[in-house]
Amino acid sequence: MWKIIMLYIVTMGVAIVDKVSYEGYKLFSIVPKTQLELELLEELRRLGNAEYNFWQVPSVLDREVIFMVPPRNLDEFHDLMFRFNMHFEVRINNIQKLIDDTIPRNKSQSFDFKHYHTLEEIYDNLEELAKKYPHRVQVVVGGRTYEGREIKGVKIISSEEKSGIFIEGGIHAREWISPTTVMYILHQLLTSEDSDVRYVADNHNWFIFPVFNPDGYVFSHVKDRLWRKTRKPSSGTCIGSDLNRNWDYHWNTTGTSNNPCDDDYPGSKPFSEIEIKSISEYMKSNLHHFNCYISFHGFSQRLMFPYGHTDERINSYDELYRVGSTALEALKRRYNTQYMIGSIGEFHQLSGLSVDYVADVFDKLIVYMYELRDKGEYGFLLPPEQIIPTGEEALDSLIAIFKALSSGYIKNKRETVIIMWKLILLCTVGLVAAEMATFENYKVFKIAVTTQPQVDQLNMLADVSDGFSFWAAPAVNKQVDLMVAPHKLPEFYEMMAKIRAPHAVLIENVQALIDQTTPPSGLTKFDFKNYHTLDTIYKNLDDLAQQYPDKVQTVVGGKTYEGRQIKGVKVSFKANNPGIFIEGGIHAREWISPATVMYILHQLLTSTNPEVRALAESHDWYIFPSFNPDGYVYTHTTNRLWRKTRKPYGTLCYGSDPNRNWGYKWNVGGASNFPCSETYAGSAPFSDVETKSMSEYINSISDKFYAYLAFHSYSQLLMFPYGHTKTRLENYDNMYAIGLNSITALAKRYGTKYKTGNIAETIYVASGNSLDWVKGTYDKPVTYIYELRDKGRYGFLLPSNQIVPTGEETMDSLVAMFKEAKCNFGAVCNSVFKCNERNSIGCKCLCFTEREIRSNGIIMWRTIVLCAVIGLIAAEKATFHNYKVFRITPATNTHVELLRQLTEVPDGLTFWKEPTTVNTYVDVMVAPHKLSEFHDLMAQIKAPHQIYVENVQTLVDQTTNRSTSKSFDFESYHTLWEIYKNLDDLAEQYPGKVEVVVGGRTYEGRQIKGVKVSFKANNPGIFIEGGIHAMEWISPATVMYILHQLLTSTNPEVRALAESHDWYIFPLFNPDGYVYTHTTNRLWGKTRKPYSSLCYGSDPNRNWGYKWNVGGASNFPCSENYAGNAPFSDVETKSMSEYINSISDKFYAYLAFHGYSQSLIFPYGYTKTHLENYDNMYAIGLNSITALAKRYGTKYKTGNIAETLGHLASGNSIDWVKGTYGKPVTYAYNLRDKGRYGFLLPSNQIVPTGEETMDSLVAMFKEAKARGYPKK
């Protein structure tokens, strides 16, 4: 409608005699919230520049649009805004006043940065600089203009061998901040004494052109301050084209206008403008002299990179994003100016751009486009007092980029890109201050990594000490644990959105865990209730040597940079024992390592367990609890999360990773050359005295041990060499079998699951480690590294109450390890193990199926520990505003498996219909704060999906709208008390037929109330269960409808069915949950019994005591299908099972009602194995759903539970009834619908659902009777 209310008005490219005035022009800002608003703004833009001149064009919803309106159109504009109820803000009240403020009145004679300058003044300054610095600065002419001007710049050559940087400014005439900033950068490169600026300036060659569009720039000074284009006539009264749409790369494919009068007219053809054609030729002539291209524009505060013509990502997207992020972090430090980063096409799709052309045609990797200050307050009319701040922060950001470039880390697209984060100038230093570092509000995130590009992106952070620290390093199909400082959280979330990696908070506040694990001050007595200082550990070693003088000998294996001893013990029970070497604490922060090593030492000396005694006394033991004493002390005094040694490497960086510094395959992979990195390999093999001295000690006893064990944390892994390669050891099979046997034994005590394999296969490449050195140098046959508890819930901050359990299970594994090692190295069992075959020394060789091996794997989503507080114990009613339900169609088994794992993660995701099989739809509700993450995940796994419910709260509101009738009806859903009152009323109304019964009770003390309906004695019985899942309101509503029909219907078939049976009808098996859906959380499903401090309720349809928890249920208390901690652990199921048992001889049929999915299913849920009477049940079911469909065409399907649903569902009520009592007719209805409304079926569907269900019951029991049920 609104398109026809405007008149086309001639646009503004006319020849102008007098200077254009913008008196009374206003600048408006609108953020379009609807598609209609967006279309209106796009239509306004199409009217032309004279009417509505857009400074920021409409692109997508919720992105600000800024445009200028002339005084003559203000009334029309306000009328439009009123008519379409659009919110707007005035950004600039009078454009001309702002223009006047930016034009200097009393200009300085010299060139300065207090004012904007004319082209002539800029060019004169370039000449002055060339005269002042004759050996450095050379004025060059890169091209010419339509009006005959030169496109003048400067070339600064430090050395022909050095890499070059090309800077473009002023391609859009009105963006005066662009050439001014370019000139500021030029001056700083020549005059600054700042060491970083000097380093960048002197180590690069520079090609700097402040004004690419001289004709337009002059015109903006003398005629029209807001002119943008060139000055070449295009057609008729229209002049100029947009120089940044005229380049010959995807020219005129998007983001341009073919109206020659428009600001974004791309010209008649590529390079139609002499400015672009000539400057591109100059650039081509210097193609091999620069590898970086920077373009400056104004405004919007963005740093962007190619491409503009598409939102598809350039091959180097990840590197450009990461380097750009570094730049923006540097830019922000000075004035806290916030920029956004991304590819151009992610913001606006624009074609024919200079940066796109340079990136693709010239094959340059480092290509950026700045949109400088501000975000629209002044727009193109930035006040001159902002020139210097803009220049300063822009230069700060360039330093970060150019430092990376100058170090040679980025060459071209075809070479490996080594990430720029290594060169962030302010790495975390050695925390030399005496004050203890705090990690208050630091968070640890668990990130699911599935692709190599994601690994590469995350590896970019591996060497950044400034706010990021990896607790578990990136690898494909591994979980990454990353600690993020509070000030880095926005950057982290932005990065996660970019790489589309699912992530969750694992530790909410690191300092809280540190406080819990820090031992009490003054603790000197050694025990295993606390972690201990180095002094306490060393004293205990000395005490043990005194206590066991014939068995324990204190030894000093090496020394540290700070002069400490690396102290251990030798334990020997008799001469000539083979030896085992145990290493602990090589990484300082892994406190569980020395604690476990000390526990093992104590057990070897004191345990009375025969197997431990046999192991202890058959070996000599060389035990060193702390290979890194300096670092360990530092974790107690200064920084709890310090990892490395403490030797200075440069002025800022301390320590190497002592498990990357050993001299076997040193630094060939999985280590860093950056001294501030946590995986810094050192300057050379054995550059740290700790590794050098300990290697010498180990060499001195290398003939005395055959096994070497290193203890680390965390991840629950048992690994063996090599770390530098995935190539397998000669004795790989033996090592794997020993490892598998060891972790099997480890799991028996507490169920702790480990996995085993070689280092590089199991985690990632990690060269220069101690284990590889021992294996590669001395070829020791048994060499393992333990990554102890846990899997990330506490990470390096494992509570001290886990020291003993960790030690116990580890000791169990050592007993098994060396028992199995003795077997496998007895020279009889070869690499091809045969089950149940014993060798000559009586050892049994082990066999494992692939399933058993796989069962040790890590399922990534299941270990996300941070559950949502599903209990919702607050009294305030939960809202589901803007929650959406998506229907996903998993196309692969991988999709199905991933979605199944997500069912265990209740943080913002609720599955309405769980994943079952390929091409079977899944319905999941997603909270608003999880939408971005959900969309990223779907994009990553490429699973087809669509929105099924746009706003869940809207449906909630519809289902809770109550009828005004005071009587019980079927126009609304009713509360528990209304249902119970109606049961009582029916009993009073039909005293000879209806009897209220109480079948059970609830955790919160409510009755589970039902009725028995009997028309004559000795009728066979039918039991009806409703409302076992609280949120399925259609279930009790339908059960109540059936009850009313049985009592009141005049239909002869209904009457015959009703009066030929006794009926035991319970509309609500889960009263507590049902009340909770009315008072607090409409979508609650479970009971309300607390199962932990955070998690409430079990799934009462997984808690029954027949084949309980054998499949299709969860052991996670916060899960929607938590089976409870035992069969009948909930009083609801226990009490109702007792009532059912008491009348089990009185009914032959059991019907359970659920919602939704439109299926009629029968046992079993725990298996797909068919019932003895499967054929009868299927035939009855088919007959029933056929009858159901006749009234409204509602389509159901039938079959046994496990087959029909596509997944197991053990512990359900009808399985229990069937399995316990053998009842011949047992069905569960999943009522309407198939997902359009899901659990929120509108109340106007109660009666239709009841009617068709009643039809099906008539058919069901008619067909059952025909098949001989109930049997006489």
Name the residue with higher pLDDT: 841 or 1227.
Answer: 1227
Q: Quick one: 114 exposed, middle or buried, by C-beta within 10 A (0-12, 13-18, 19+)?
A: exposed
Q: Calculate mean pLDDT across residues 754-773.
A: 91
Which of 39-48, 726-735, 916-925 bottoms out in mean pLDDT, i.e. has the lowest? 39-48
How far is Cα 714 from Cα 720, in angstroms, rounded to an integer? Answer: 16
Rg of the chain on CA atoms, in Å: 38
pLDDT at position 244: 97
Beta-bridge partner residues of 168: 209, 295
pLDDT at position 1010: 98
**Is residue 1108 left, alpha or beta, with left meaning phi > 0 and alpha meaning psi from -120 to 50?**
beta
Task: Quote helix, strand, coil % in the chain, to nearest 5.
Answer: 35, 15, 45
Which of 502-511, 521-530, 818-827, 1126-1135 bottoms out in mean pLDDT, i.e. has the lowest? 818-827
Q: Calculate mean pLDDT across residues 49-55.
A: 73
Give CA torsion, residues 40, 45, 47, 48, to 10 deg.
170
pLDDT at position 365: 85
Q: Calculate mean pLDDT across residues 852-881.
A: 37
Q: Report the topology of domain 26-93.
A: Alpha-Beta Plaits (3.30.70)
How confident is the model over 771-783, as pLDDT tens digits?
Answer: 999 999 999 999 9
Residue-wise over 632-649: b if at least 16 C-beta within 10 A, else e? bbbbbebbbbbbbbbbeb
pLDDT at position 306: 95
Which of 182-191, 246-255, 480-489 bottoms out in mean pLDDT, i.e. has the lowest? 480-489
**Is residue 324 left, alpha or beta, with left meaning phi > 0 and alpha meaning psi from -120 to 50?**
alpha
| Gap between the terminal Cα atoms of the chain | 75
Ranges of each domain in the chain: 26-93, 111-406, 443-516, 520-824, 884-950, 972-1267
pLDDT exceeding 90 applies to what percent of the chain?
59
pLDDT at position 1069: 98
Beta-bridge partner residues of 925: 885, 910
8 A C-beta contact, residue 813 and residue 746: yes
Whether 11 shows a pLDDT value over 80: the answer reads: no
pLDDT at position 803: 97
Query: Which residues fall within 8 angstroms of residue 448, CB to CB, at 6 or more apart?
Result: 479, 480, 501, 502, 503, 860, 861
Give Cα separations from 819 to 387, 738, 812, 825 (angstroms). Answer: 76, 9, 11, 10
pLDDT at position 460: 63
Whether 61 shows a pLDDT value over 90: the answer reads: no
8 A C-beta contact, residue 514 and residue 439: yes
Per-residue confidence band for 404, with pLDDT thresholds at 50, 70 and 90: low
CA atoms within 13 A on the CB side of 814: 31
Residues forming the active site: 371, 787
How confident is the model over 1072-1091, as pLDDT tens digits?
Answer: 999 999 988 898 999 999 88
Whether 1094 shows a pLDDT value over 70: the answer reads: no
pLDDT at position 738: 93
Name the residue with higher pLDDT: 203 or 141.
Answer: 141
Q: Calculate mean pLDDT across residues 1133-1154.
A: 97
Whether 5 shows a pLDDT value over 90: the answer reads: no
pLDDT at position 986: 97
How far is Cα 94 from Cα 91, in angstroms, rounded to an integer? Answer: 9
How confident is the model over 735-747, as pLDDT tens digits?
Answer: 988 999 999 999 9
pLDDT exceeding 70 applies to what percent of the chain?
88
Whether 867 shows a pLDDT value over 70: the answer reads: no
Q: State yes or no: cis peptide before 321, omega within 30 of 0.
A: no
Full DSSP string of 34-92: SHHHHHHHHHHHHT-TTT-EEEE---STTS-EEEEE-GGGHHHHHHHHHHTT---EEEE
Q: What six digits make up the tokens of 1127?
A: 């069969």
Q: Is the dihedral of CA 1128, 1131, 1133, 1137 positive or negative?
A: positive
CATH architecture group of domain 884-950: 2-Layer Sandwich (3.30)
How confident is the model over 1033-1076, as pLDDT tens digits?
Answer: 999 999 999 999 999 999 999 999 999 999 999 999 999 999 99
How far is Cα 123 from Cα 145, in angstroms, rounded to an integer? Answer: 15
**For residue 1238, what is the DSSP state?**
G
Per-residue confidence band for 19, with pLDDT thresholds at 50, 70 and 90: confident
Beta strands in 858-942 (DSSP E): 884-888, 909-913, 922-926
* Homologous superfamily, domain 443-516: Metallocarboxypeptidase-like (3.30.70.340)
8 A C-beta contact, residue 1064 and residue 1143: yes
pLDDT at position 1211: 96
* Homologous superfamily, domain 520-824: Zn peptidases (3.40.630.10)
Per-residue confidence band for 832, with pLDDT thresholds at 50, 70 and 90: very low
pLDDT at position 449: 84
Q: How far is CA 348 from the centre of its chain?
A: 26
pLDDT at position 104: 66
Q: What six digits make up the tokens of 1005?
A: 């003390």
pLDDT at position 105: 58
pLDDT at position 1258: 98
How far is Cα 599 from Cα 625, in angstroms, rounded to an integer? Answer: 10
Give Cα separations from 1034 to 953, 1008, 1029, 1237 (angstroms). Answer: 17, 18, 10, 11
Q: What six digits make up the tokens of 156?
A: 């600064």
pLDDT at position 416: 31
Name the residue with higher pLDDT: 552 or 468.
Answer: 552
Give residue 439's identity as a one-letter amino acid code: F
8 A C-beta contact, residue 180 and residue 391: yes
Give residue 339's identity as a one-letter amino acid code: Y
Q: Calculate mean pLDDT across residues 1010-1038.
A: 97
How confident is the model over 987-1004, as pLDDT tens digits?
Answer: 999 999 999 999 999 999
Per-residue confidence band for 108, with pLDDT thresholds at 50, 70 and 90: low
- What is the rounded average pLDDT for all residues in the chain? 86
How far is Cα 862 from Cα 905, in angstroms, rounded to an integer? Answer: 7
Whether 107 shows a pLDDT value over 80: the answer reads: no
Per-residue confidence band for 403, with pLDDT thresholds at 50, 70 and 90: low
Q: How many CB atoms lie within 10 A of CB 274?
A: 18
Which secondary-structure segment (H or E) carries 152?
strand 150-156
- Max Cα-Cα span within the chain: 118
| 1263: three-class secondary structure by DSSP | helix
> CATH topology of 26-93 equal to that of 972-1267?
no
Q: Calculate mean pLDDT across residues 503-521.
A: 86
Q: Calculate mean pLDDT across residues 295-308.
A: 95
Q: Calculate mean pLDDT across residues 266-287.
A: 94
Indicate the CATH number of 111-406 among 3.40.630.10, 3.30.230.10, 3.30.470.20, 3.40.50.300: 3.40.630.10
CATH code of the domain occupying 972-1267: 3.40.630.10
pLDDT at position 843: 36
Q: Which residue has the tokens 């009629």?
A: 1160
